[in-house]
Amino acid sequence: MTKTGIIAAAAGLAAIVMVFVVVPGMRDAGYIIRAYVITAVIFVAYIWSLAVRLDRVEKDREARQGDVAS
């Protein structure tokens, strides 16, 4: 888990909660909720995956530089 991933997940969750609080009384609420929730999940999943991949590459690089130095 990375700090960026956690912030993205928290923000996505906050957006989903807001959608579930505000939208249910509206006409065609089901479609609106699905559209917003799916969008939030896609963005959070991508940002999470990016943060994890970036963290892994940076750690590998640091480890290799440490090996070269020693």
Partner 1 sequence: MGTVVLFVVVAAIVIFVLVYGMRLVGMSVSTMKRAGTITGALSLLLFAVGLYLGLVWAPTAQIMGDSYRIMYIHFPSWVGTAAGYLTAFVASVLYIRTRKYGYDYVAVAGAEIGLLFNVVGLITGALWGRPTWGVYWTWDPRLTTTAIMAITFAGYLVLRAFLEDPEARARVSSLVAIIGFVNVPIVYFSVRWWRTLHQVQSSPDTIDPPMVLALRVMMIAFVVLFLYMLTQRFMLARLRGEEELEAVRLEVAGD
Binding residues for partner 1, rule: CB under 8 A, are 4, 7, 11, 15, 18-19, 22-23, 26-29, 31-32, 34-36, 38-39, 42-43, 46-47, 50-51, 53-54, 57-58, 60-61
> Which of residues 21 and 70 has its CB atom nearest to partner 1 in the complex?
21
Contact (Cβ atoms closer than 8 angstroms) between residue 50 and residue 9: no
Q: Tokens standing for 33?
A: 């909720």
> Which of residues 1 and 18 has its CB atom nearest to partner 1 in the complex?
18
Contact (Cβ atoms closer than 8 angstroms) between residue 49 and residue 58: no
